[in-house]
Structure 1
Amino acid sequence: MHTTMLTVLAEEAPKGNKPSNTFKSDSFATVAKAISEQFGVECHSSYVENRMRTLRTMWTTIQTLQKKSGFGWDDSLKMITCDAKTYQEEVMVHRKHADFLNKKIEMYNELVIVVGKDMATSNFAKSYADIDTKLDNAESTKMVGDNGEEGVVDKRKNVVKSSTTGSTISKSRKRGRAPPSDDSVLTDLSDQLKEIVVALKEIN
């Protein structure tokens, strides 16, 4: 039942049925129906909701162990690792933690989607930490201008093309230096012409 529940809910999340840290009631009903059909028992949504509490407790334990000093993480095996001494010390204090140490955590990816605070995009989830890292290491292909309009960055010309007006906005790397306006350019040209006229009169 545990496996069926995680499998079904992991499929429900990408459909938009996990808008926050919990699922919609329809998803729990879907799980209850799948369990009833598979095991030939009468399963209700309330049972699924109660099991969710157990899954959240498991997830909290896993996260706690991952962050503790002396423990490692094997991402390929989905396993929390530690040496024999650390294992003994931990199990002496928390006997149930032995279920999560030096052994593969079954259906870990599904747990991440179902009870983790991650964004599920397909059958697996991308964590916020991963997303933040990617945004820091690569240029974003979209940006929002000062006027609130969304634009697309042209990396070759370093300009922003507005997706609504089609106009381009140059990206200035140095803030505080505004480009000269057309009026100031015309004023400079006028002053230069006056100087030339005065010089010509003096020569004549």
Structure 2
Amino acid sequence: MNDVFLSDPKWKHDNNQFRPGFYNLCEKKILLAFAGTNLRASSHIESKIKLWRKQYSTLYDMVNASGFGWDDCEKMVLVDSDDVWSNHVKKVPDEKGMRNKPFPYYEVWLILFGKDRVTGELAEGPAESVTAMENEETTKEKGDESPVEQF
């Protein structure tokens, strides 16, 4: 598979999920490149892309957090100090194996999944989403307090 195929926007829905036929096209391209392989769109390719998406998301969050960076030569996450790492692992224990581990496909994942991450001043993280939903519920409980007089 080449980068042109992966970055073609026609294969992504607005919600950043792949359109029907994407995995089958991946399967065909793999079968052409590796004759005799038994890899199939379902479940081999789908499960691998699901794992890659999760790893990309984790790496993206880590690289964009304070105290972390990315080493283009070694293709791994940089950490400012052991304290930064131990504090991070206390919050997210599942990521303890990611230090000093190379991720050679990160640049390809940026092409594949790059638009899956919401960024910018209007971006809302999980904590902000919960707060917004709670505020919405509180507003509904109070009722419609419109300043317009009701007749």
- Please, what TM-score do these two structures have when normalized by structure 1? 0.43
**Number of positions where the alignment pairs a residue of Structure 1 with one of Structure 2:** 113
Say which SS state the counterpart of residue 23 (structure 1) adopts: coil
Output the CA distance in 2 between the equivalents of 1:112 and 1:29. Answer: 22
Residue segments in structure 1 that go unaligned for 5+ positions in a row? 1-7, 119-127, 130-204
- Is 1:59 matched with 2:60? no
The answer as to whether partners of 2:69 and 2:77 remain within 8 angstroms in 1 is: yes
The answer as to whether partners of 1:31 and 1:45 remain within 8 angstroms in 2 is: no
The answer as to whether partners of 2:7 and 2:111 remain within 8 angstroms in 1 is: no
- Is 1:10 matched with 2:3? yes
- Is 1:105 matched with 2:103? yes
The answer as to whether partners of 1:66 and 1:72 remain within 8 angstroms in 2 is: yes
Residue of structure 2 in register with 1:94 after alignment? 92
Is the strand fraction higher in 1 or 2?
1
Residue of structure 2 in register with 1:27 after alignment? 22
Distance 1:59 1:9, change over 3 A: farther
| Larger RCO (alpha carbons 8 Å, 6+ apart) | 2
The answer as to whether partners of 1:72 and 1:80 remain within 8 angstroms in 2 is: yes
Q: Which runs of 4+ in 1 moved over 6 A?
A: none
Output the CA distance in 2 between the equivalents of 1:9 and 1:17. Answer: 15
Residue segments in structure 2 that go unaligned for 5+ positions in a row? 121-151
* Structural RMSD (CA): 3.2
Structure index of larger Rg: 1
Output the CA distance in 1 between the equivalents of 2:39 and 2:6. Answer: 24
- Please, what TM-score do these two structures have when normalized by structure 2? 0.55
Provide Cα deviations, 1:57-80, integer angstroms capped at 9, x if missing partner.
Answer: 112211221232222233454432
The answer as to whether partners of 1:74 and 1:81 remain within 8 angstroms in 2 is: yes
The answer as to whether partners of 1:17 and 1:27 remain within 8 angstroms in 2 is: no
Output the CA distance in 1 between the equivalents of 2:45 and 2:12. Answer: 18
- State how 1:39-188 maps to structure 2 within 5 Å: 40-82=37-79, 83-117=81-115
Output the CA distance in 2 between the equivalents of 1:93 and 1:44. Answer: 35
Percent identity of equivalent pairs: 23
Aligned-pair CA distance for 1:117: 0.6
Aligned-pair CA distance for 1:105: 1.9
Amino acid at match of 1:25: P
Is the helix fraction higher in 1 or 2?
2
Distance 1:41 1:30, change over 3 A: same
